[in-house]
Structure 1
Amino acid sequence: MRPTILRRLVRRVAPTVAGVLALLTAQPVSAVAAPAAPAAASLVQVTGFGSNPGNLQMFAYTPDGLAAGAPLVVALHGCTQSAGAYYSNSGWPKYADLWGFDVVFPQTTSANNALSCFGWFDQNESTRGKGEAASVVQMVEYAKKTYGSDGRRVYVTGLSAGGGMTADLLAAYPDVFAGGSVASGLPAQCATTQAAASGCQSGPQKLSPAQWGDKVRASYPGWTGPWPRVAIWQGTADYTVQPANATALRDQWTDVWGIGQTPSSTTSLPGSTTRSVYADAAGKPAVETYSVAGMGHGLPVSPGSGTEQCGATAAYFLNTVCSAYHTGLFWGLDEDGPGGEEQGLPAPTGLKVGGVTDTGASLAWDAVVGAASYAVYRDGAKVATTPSTSYTDSGLTPGTTYRWTVAAAGASGTAGTASAAVTATTSGGTAPARCFTASNYAHVTAGRAHTSGGHAYANGSEQDMGLYNVFVTHTLRESPAGHFVIADSGCQA
């Protein structure tokens, strides 16, 4: 067992395609308006995480007692699947408990796509600032602000259509995701219409690495890096998403990294799996491919209690090798610091907020021996580096709650463990109320209400809105954010 794994144990003690016909049953989950802490960690639905332009649902798994500053993994299901199925079978919750990180499971529904596929082939859903891609990023921002997830260590993984969307997210949001893992998926922006999707699945265009790389670079023009580190999983007997897609993915991301398509090393893993590593200029793995001999279309899992075993077999969860384990090692989730690097400097203590105004807040903390500078993070994103033990954060929005952490950095500039988080709300700036008139069904799918016993209930006020269907209409007034009341008699925004 790796020393870092032992330390964590001691500390915690504790369109895949239209031809897909199998149906997976989601595990029961409880719907809440905010991530209330259950008696034991479980999959919980979260509503009100943002404007949700892609009409997705958010589910989250947060291990018991997990401190702020932990990594975040976003896991996207395949067609006909659900967040509950991915939670139960993929193996990610096991390593969230073992290594200490949060997991968000986005879910799409038949309201978006007849087979509940993420829209990797639709530029209105898969590009920066639009549709489902924007909804996923809103979930990340919610997790950073609510759970204190470390914005430097956010990763995304997905199977099949979820894998295609993963590649699109990595291309469109390299500023959000530090790494990704595409399982039986498609290259970023392989198809831009549903009509073209089947052509990608049966064998993508024969483009050069530079042409594939251009599709990534065009997804966020002007971005120069750093780029996400990408793992690619593919079965050699996959006749739904052909193995040529794994080759195109490798060509795409090695070109983005500016490295060749010849592996730096090749090793054998359980389940007849071959891992090929493509290292960056510093010798660190930038792209890895995992070819599973004889495996069909699905996510590799390996049920069992061993550290390297995970998941459960089900439709499209195939007993070969634990992909979650090896992907987590590639991302460095088993280590203490960002990117898997051991960080020697401890977390600063005594972080306090003072001098809060409508647009700023003053921070101060205790010095760390050996620190050359300090990195300041607001809502999980780095906002400043300072040599002193104080910092005034400015340009804030009035009447808004923020969360800050601080990490000490040595002479190399590499930040260590983040401090405990502190929060404060800027003064002034009361946000105006917003009004929404829609059917009960639409209110629920938009995250303004939830269901129980066949009825819809307004988030926040818990008012009974009547039957959950498209025939009952209500006006809901939102004030404050995330709190809705029935306002059928008149709603003043």
Structure 2
Amino acid sequence: MFTHHTNSRQLSELKNFGSNPGSLKCWLYLPTILAPKTPLVVVLHGCTQNAAIYDHGSGWSKLAEEKGFAILYPEQQRANNANLCFNWFEPGDIQRDAGEALSIREMIEHVVESHGIDPGRVFITELSAGGAMANVMLATYPELFAGGAIIGGLPYGTASGVGQAFERMRGQNAPMVSQLQAAPKTAASGWGPWPSISVWHGTHDETVKPINAKQIALQWVGSHQISDAPDVIATINGHSRKIWLDESGKEVIEVNLIKGMGHGVPLSFTAKAPLGTSGQFMLEAGISSTARIARSWGLADEADVAIAEGVFEPGAERSSAPSGIEAVITKAMAYAKPDFVRNVEGRDDRGVSKVINDALRAAGLMR
């Protein structure tokens, strides 16, 4: 297992990525070692934030450097929204091939083509208005994404204008289930397959009421054509997790309700090597959404989750192994793609040592 080292490299601004009708800025983080077919995570900040603030708090680029994937940060400008919120409620910004949604699509396509990104491993996430805008992108361009994670966000296509946006945030005048489920299908008629969806929401969120998490799940069970009722209900670190499976048994939707948490990103700062930094909207919850979301996408592993949440194996001293060996194992882990078999709490039943051995064999370092 490996510690999350402080990442001193900066985000770089990307310009001339397309017509940019939404007038957004774009920032990019590339790991030091950029392997062919590198995955990409698109991260959308919340209101009053910018790309650098969100990155520092959530720890995404720190994890990206360690695990070897790229990060794309669209960034809102005050000329578009005085509070730096993505305009998830403005019809001109949330339709396919229009406004902010098109700007983000152009950024993604530019980075995929320019840096040899794996187009089959593009993911999108993040908080509040950014979470709502992530849902916009998942609904309008489902073919671009293998998965998405929505933190403290809202369902797609249920608000038109600021007034309705505040109603939805307060959980008032909830849309009908038929309306929720029709919105993505109308937005991207004929496209697919649909991405996997991960929802994270605080049970005590007064900014975006938790009812929105349920509505997002209802919206996407319609697209995936599965039952409204979850197939598995579990508890992780004291928090509720509901899981929906498709016909093949694959997890396609999850809803994580974070007990006692308000509006923000659930992280764990009590760990010896925490991933992320405490601050506004970066909240202690004893669970690392960044690490767990990355793991669900195959970008991190159980060891990374354990480190980010402060769960260490007895006697596992990170300083005992020579740095050269650590580097070899890190590289092996990055290139290995073991077929994880997880139980309902998301743990690897085979154990971390088995994963490392598989990784070393895949790298040709062990028979």
Indicate the TM-score class for this superposition, using the shorter chain for normalisation.
Answer: 0.7 to 0.9
Matched, 1:312 2:277: yes
Provide the rounded CA distance (Å) in 2 between the counterparts of 1:181 and 1:306. 26
2:155 aligned to which of 187, 211, 216: 187
Greater fraction of residues in helix: 2
2:244 aligned to which of 278, 282, 285: 278
* AA at the equivalent of 2:116: G
| 2:183 aligned counterpart, secondary structure | helix
Aligned CA RMSD, in angstroms, stands at 2.5
Greater fraction of residues in strand: 1
* AA at the equivalent of 1:243: P
Provide the rounded CA distance (Å) in 2 between the counterparts of 1:240 and 1:261. 26
> 2:39 aligns to what?
71
2:141 aligned to which of 160, 173, 181: 173
**Contact 2:138/2:148 (8 A) holds in 1:** yes
* AA at the equivalent of 2:259: A
**Gapped runs of 5+ residues in structure 1?**
15-38, 344-416, 418-493
**Contact 1:302/1:312 (8 A) holds in 2:** no
The Cα of 1:267 is off from its aligned counterpart by 2.2
What are the equivalent positions in structure 2 for 1:285-296 lying under 5 Å apart?
285-296=251-262
Provide the rounded CA distance (Å) in 1 between the counterparts of 2:52 and 2:270. 20
> 2:207 aligns to what?
240
* AA at the equivalent of 1:162: G
What are the equivalent positions in structure 2 for 1:7-406 lying under 5 Å apart?
41-203=9-171, 205-223=173-191, 225-270=192-237, 272-303=238-269, 309-320=274-285, 321-334=287-300, 342=339
Provide the rounded CA distance (Å) in 2 between the counterparts of 1:304 and 1:74. 27
* AA at the equivalent of 1:102: A
**Contact 1:41/1:62 (8 A) holds in 2:** no
Provide the rounded CA distance (Å) in 1 between the counterparts of 2:282 and 2:8. 26
**Gapped runs of 5+ residues in structure 2?**
302-332, 341-361, 363-367
CA shift digits 1:359-412 (9 cap, x unpaired): xxxxxxxxxxxxxxxxxxxxxxxxxxxxxxxxxxxxxxxxxxxxxxxxxxxxxx
Provide the rounded CA distance (Å) in 2 between the counterparts of 1:190 and 1:286. 22
**Contact 2:170/2:207 (8 A) holds in 1:** yes
Q: Could you state the TM-score of these two structures normalised by the residue count of structure 2?
A: 0.78
**Contact 2:68/2:334 (8 A) holds in 1:** no
| 1:51 aligned counterpart, secondary structure | coil
Distance 1:238 1:42, change over 3 A: same
**Contact 2:86/2:133 (8 A) holds in 1:** yes
**Contact 1:40/1:64 (8 A) holds in 2:** no
CA shift digits 1:266-291 (9 cap, x unpaired): 22223x32211111111110000010
Distance 1:305 1:97, change over 3 A: farther
**Contact 1:159/1:298 (8 A) holds in 2:** yes
| 1:120 aligned counterpart, secondary structure | coil
* AA at the equivalent of 1:322: S
* AA at the equivalent of 1:314: G
* AA at the equivalent of 1:149: I
| 1:300 aligned counterpart, secondary structure | strand
* AA at the equivalent of 1:132: E
| 2:200 aligned counterpart, secondary structure | strand
Report percent identity of matched pairs: 36
CA shift digits 1:98-129 (9 cap, x unpaired): 32210011110211001011000011111111
Bigger Cα Rg: 1
Runs of 4 or more, structure 1, over 6 Å off, are 335-338
The Cα of 1:192 is off from its aligned counterpart by 2.0
Q: Could you state the TM-score of these two structures normalised by the residue count of structure 1?
A: 0.59
CA shift digits 1:178-233 (9 cap, x unpaired): 1111110000112122221111101154444443111110111222x210100001
Provide the rounded CA distance (Å) in 1 between the counterparts of 2:271 and 2:67. 15
Distance 1:305 1:139, change over 3 A: farther
| 2:117 aligned counterpart, secondary structure | coil
Provide the rounded CA distance (Å) in 1 between the counterparts of 2:291 and 2:175. 32
